[in-house]
Amino acid sequence: MFRIPILGTVLVTSLLAARPLGAADVTVREITQMLVNEQPGRIVTLAGRDLSFLDLSGLDFKGARLTGANLYAADLSQANLRNVDLSGALLDRARIIGADFSHANLSGAVMRLPHAASSATFSRVDAPRFAGADLSHARLVARLDGADFRGADMQGAQLHPYGDGTQNAAARRTSLIACDFSAAVLVGANLSNSLLTFAKFTNADLTGANLRGADLSKTNFFGATLAAADLTGADLDGANFHGANGLETVVGLDLARNVERALR
């Protein structure tokens, strides 16, 4: 795996910029052969490998172990990643259109600005699937409109924008429009400033979640637990809180926008 010694920030940045494209340490053909020749009872291991920029679209990973793998800008479109161990993996700029991450282990994984849609027009067919996946403490900054997160473990997940004073943080907002978080666990998750219009949180656990400044218009919280969640500055226009639990302990509810339309 490619490693860089601890150097000054400028030198490290220069080394990264000089790294050749397609610097993966294994080929698509080799990965395919590993998966095809997988023996019963044995799991293909690509932990810590550099798979950056590889075209892995449509591959069935057969529950492989990719712990800490570098999948920067890799094409995972339509790939079967069900039950794959991607804990601590890097998926920045990866192409994940139609990818199936159901029940995968993505704990501690980083996925910033992946390509999850084939066009600017919303299509649920393109949306990746994360049903039952472990996304605890994962870092996501992405447009994942229509994605399936039903039953996912998202405790401590970080989905807030990134950037500093020199960057356009607004352009890096996580977009989760019309996503399904039914029965998902989002305890302590940070979804501040995320776009969650028409999202579904039926029976989800949002205890202590940070929803400050999030767009929650037309969002469904029926049966959800919102104990100690922070809704300061959130837009609640048309949100459904019927049957929600813990509303009496919600932080910043009086500072949310359009709250009267949500709780009438």
pLDDT exceeds cutoff 90 at 231: yes
Q: If pLDDT is split at 50, 70 and 90, which confidence band does 185 have?
A: very high
Q: What are the distances in angstroms from CA 81 to CA 58, 78, 204? A: 10, 9, 24
Mean pLDDT over the full length of the chain: 88
pLDDT exceeds cutoff 60 at 16: no
Q: If pLDDT is split at 50, 70 and 90, which confidence band does 170 have?
A: low
- Enclosing H/E stretch for 111: strand 110-112
Which positions ≥6 away from 81 have C-beta within 8 Å? 61, 99, 100, 101, 104
Q: If pLDDT is split at 50, 70 and 90, which confidence band does 258 have?
A: very high
Amino acid (one-letter) located at 96: I
Residue 249 has φ and ψ, to the nearest 5°, of: -110, 5
Residues 83-95: tens digit of each pLDDT? 999 999 999 999 9
